[in-house]
Amino acid sequence: MNQEVGAIMNYCYKRFPVKVYEKEIPEQFQVPCMYFPAAWTNTKNDTVSTFLKTFTLHIKVFHKDSGQAHDAAETIVDAL
């Protein structure tokens, strides 16, 4: 999973080249930036013969104000 998350982080960085945090955000964090918390995993039986595993990766985008953060996030989402 780490290679996949790294590839997604790189892709997002190319669209919005700012400081990237992945472990935790320090008290005095740089703005603008992106934060990639750990991916959330959901596993369950799909059918009698298959297994389903879903990964969810939240990306938090910080900017000078919420409008600029929304615009940056929307650019990333549209590119994905």
* Mean pLDDT, each 10-residue run in order, the chain (80 residues): 88 95 93 94 89 92 97 93
**Neighbouring-strand partners of residue 52:** 44
Number of domains in the chain: 1
How many angstroms separate the CA atoms of 74 and 53, rounded?
27
Predicted pLDDT of residue 47: 87
Amino acid 30 reads Q
How many angstroms separate the CA atoms of 22 and 59, rounded?
10
Range of the domain at 72: 2-79
